[in-house]
Structure 1
Amino acid sequence: MNLPATGRRVLISGASRGLGRALAQAFADNGDRVAVHFGSREEEARATLASLAGEGHVLVGGDLSDPAGAADVAGRAAAALGGSPDVLVNNAAVNLPHPLADTSYEDWAALWQRHVSVNLLATANLSHLAARGMIDRGTGGRIVNIGSRGAFRGEPDHPAYGATKAAVHALGQSLAVSLAPYGIAVASVAPGFFGTERVAHRLSGEEGAAIRAQSPFGRAGTAQEIAAAVLWLASPVAEWASGTVLDLNGASHLRT
């Protein structure tokens, strides 16, 4: 299997802002060509596209919660990049509050369905589509899933988020075993709290102090730190990390 170190075709789901933007920038800086996926935030996705170094990057919109939509996104990304991706980063996710005691049954059921459709099923469907292309091409590849610390420590106000991220970790490990014979390595990262423009307001005042106190380093993580770890997991030298779930939480939650 001959996976190049640079110049790869990379599909990043949910890349319009935040971590998705940092991921796109990291791969572009590495010399790869990136398909920037967005669901509804086209203007922000175009800003991400404009920020990328190098050439050959493309914008692909579409609803990943629908299997047909996921297939359409994968197909258009492959057509625009000149072939199916060498690297898939499953970053698209929803994280909507729904504490049980304060959520009606109707809202509870709807929010669970939404989290499962986007966080888990879209990840599974894009992984199938990308992996089939890698298998058919015969050159191997990489799939990296964005999970969460919440899969291990619990998310009392966001239980569907925690549960679906735990499922994403398990999915990645299952695929790591099944796809290894084809030279495809699959890994996940489990970030703790990290700063983006979407959550910047939470890092001020008492809430910000409490978030920073979660880590003995006394700070929150950065999207760039998460992106750097993903870039390594997607590299040719990281094949032996296939199946791992890499904690990226500044020692704020230690698993045994």
Structure 2
Amino acid sequence: MQFPATGRRVLVTGASRGLGRAVARAFAANGDRVAVHCHERAEEARATLASLDGTGHVLVRGDLADPAGALEVADAAHTAFGDDGGGVDVLVNNAAVNLRHPLAETPYEEWVETWRRHVSVNLLATAHLSHLVARRMIDRGTGGRIVNIGSRGAFRGEPDHPAYGATKAAVHALGQSLAVSLAPHGIAVASVAPGFFATERVAPRLDGPEGAAILAQSPFGRVAAPEEIAGAVLWLASPAAEWASGTVLDLNGASYLRT
């Protein structure tokens, strides 16, 4: 069965705002149906849902830090899209936490809890949802796509957010392992590693004293728009990108060059 270019069923986690919202919009504009996931930001997620082109989109809620919550989200998306020949064709693992916790300033108890939270959401939720979605793709024999949202911080270091950098490096490694194991089933897995991009969450930093230094990280003198990252995710999920399976695509405006 040929993997379709449009009309797919797409689950985007953490899609209430920011990059997740941009990714959901990109797929909807492509003619796909989107399951917009959120945990606590239901009002913002409904705003994302209302902004999508086309019809057939749904809202799914659940705490991905809890394995049972991940199962609920996967089941809700598959049920909404229909298991009889339906189900999720594309999974975008976007949900993440990024809490400041420099070692020299963070008490041990807070350090332990912050690491637990990052591992649970950034890494384990990605692994659990990938398993739940991929197993159904395998059972249907339809193939599919998984795209993980990683980070430039996995390579350049995150001194104020070490758990974020570490878990995003693990997400990249997970994606490459799954790319090898799932290829025989027609499932391609890839990751993107964005640098700084403008969202509601980082707007105070861009508008504050460190804004100029952040812009200067790239020789283009700016940060990315979420839509630029979303466009790359859309391509990696396309039939044309099967041979990119296993890649970690840098999207940082030449602000950090890996060798």
**TM-score grouping bracket, smaller chain normalisation:** over 0.9
Aligned counterparts, 1:148-187, within 5 A: 148-187=151-190
Q: Secondary structure at the match of 1:11?
A: strand
Aligned counterparts, 1:52-91, within 5 A: 52-82=52-82, 83-91=86-94
* Structure 2 match to 1:204: 207
- Partner AA of 1:253 in structure 2: Y
- Partner AA of 1:142 in structure 2: R
- CA-CA distance at 1:204 after TM superposition: 2.1
- Partner AA of 2:74 in structure 1: A
Aligned counterparts, 1:1-256, within 5 A: 1-82=1-82, 83-256=86-259
- Partner AA of 1:71 in structure 2: L
Provide the rounded CA distance (Å) in 1 between the counterparts of 2:60 and 2:215. 35
- CA-CA distance at 1:67 after TM superposition: 0.7
Distance 1:112 1:205, change over 3 A: closer
Count of paired positions: 256
Provide the rounded CA distance (Å) in 2 between the counterparts of 1:60 and 1:74. 9
Unaligned ranges ≥5, structure 1: none
- Partner AA of 1:30 in structure 2: N
List per-residue Cα deviations over 1:209-242 (Å, max 9, x = no partner). 1111000011111100000000000000000000
Provide the rounded CA distance (Å) in 2 between the counterparts of 1:48 and 1:133. 26
Provide the rounded CA distance (Å) in 2 between the counterparts of 1:201 and 1:101. 24
- Partner AA of 2:214 in structure 1: I
Provide the rounded CA distance (Å) in 1 between the counterparts of 2:134 and 2:87. 9
Q: Give the structure-1-normalised TM-score.
A: 0.99
Backbone CA RMSD of aligned residues: 0.7
Provide the rounded CA distance (Å) in 1 between the counterparts of 2:11 and 2:192. 17
- Partner AA of 2:99 in structure 1: L
Provide the rounded CA distance (Å) in 1 between the counterparts of 2:61 and 2:129. 14
Provide the rounded CA distance (Å) in 2 between the counterparts of 1:140 and 1:69. 25
List per-residue Cα deviations over 1:47-97 (Å, max 9, x = no partner). 000000000000000001111110111001110112321000000000001
Provide the rounded CA distance (Å) in 2 between the counterparts of 1:39 and 1:204. 28
- Partner AA of 2:47 in structure 1: A
List per-residue Cα deviations over 1:148-198 (Å, max 9, x = no partner). 000000000100000000000000000000000000000000000000122
- Partner AA of 1:59 in structure 2: L
- CA-CA distance at 1:206 after TM superposition: 3.5
Q: Secondary structure at the match of 2:249?
A: strand
Identity of aligned pairs, percent?
81
- Partner AA of 1:12 in structure 2: V
- Partner AA of 1:214 in structure 2: Q
Provide the rounded CA distance (Å) in 2 between the counterparts of 1:207 and 1:227. 26
Provide the rounded CA distance (Å) in 2 between the counterparts of 1:205 and 1:58. 37
Provide the rounded CA distance (Å) in 2 between the counterparts of 1:127 and 1:185. 12
Q: Give the structure-2-normalised TM-score.
A: 0.98
Q: Deviation above 2 Å: which 4+ runs of structure 1?
A: none
Q: Secondary structure at the match of 2:100?
A: coil
